[in-house]
Amino acid sequence: MSFSLKNDVVVPGEIVAQQEEFVEGEGVYVDQETGFLRSAFLGKIAIDLNNKMISVNTHKKLKLPKKNSIVLCSVSSVKENIIFVDIFGVIVLYPRPKWEHEFSSPLSGAILSNQIGVDKYNDLTEIVKPGDIILAKVISSTNPFNLSLKGPQFGVIYSMCSKCGEVMTPINNDQLKCPKCGNVEKRKISNLATSKLLKIDMKKTIMIPP
């Protein structure tokens, strides 16, 4: 695999090196799922060969989500004790849902099993599944961001049937039903999932204001 070289311009989330090659400097973080080093900002790579450190320098840092921000995410993978997501942007829910700001490239986020807000479940795929669109709260201040699903407004707002691919409809706060094949699946569902104020355009993967 080839990676960006010194002075190359990189975008947030782009792989810049392997963890075995360098230690992370400013503007670089470790992807805990893969072990790759990724850029946290839009900027240029700087390599300190003496200290085996790689950094990303930028004159203008991105506007990143703050602690307690509400973010719109897509679930990328679900492991035994952790959920990995791509964060598309920060939204405000009240008085009407709208974007506060979108990111030009998705940021990385993770939800630990102690932050899902559900007491009884068999595994995390009963909370979310890959491809689900969710609302979550930011509980850390650095990239990759730790997120939480605790609270009734946080959870799945858009999900497709794992059997036929149809968009599923909530039937209560922890079950979705496919209108096409009748398949029922468990999720932690946001209480905004049925709101007419919140719509998702999957071709653009963004929230459309009413």
pTM of the model: 0.73
Q: Of 37, 32, 40, 35, which Cα lies nearest the Cα of 11?
A: 40
What structural domains does the chain harbor? 9-57 (2.40.50.100), 70-208 (2.40.50.140)
Which residue reads 């782009």 in tokens? 14
- The lowest-confidence range among 83-92, 95-104, 191-200 is 191-200
In this prediction, residue 197 carries a pLDDT of: 65
Q: Of 155, 137, 13, which Cα lies nearest the Cα of 65?
A: 137
pLDDT in tens, 14-39: 889 988 899 988 888 888 788 889 88
Q: Phi and psi of 68, rounded to 5°?
A: 80, 0
In degrees, rounded to 5, the angle at the alpha carbon of residue 133 between the alpha carbons of residues 35 and 90 is 80
In this prediction, residue 203 carries a pLDDT of: 47
pLDDT in tens, 104-139: 778 889 999 999 999 999 999 999 999 999 999 999
Residue 208 has pLDDT above 60, yes or no: no
The dihedral formed by the CA atoms of 189, 195, 198 and 201, expressed in degrees to the nearest 10: 70
pLDDT in tens, 144-195: 799 999 999 999 999 999 999 999 999 998 999 999 999 999 999 999 888 7
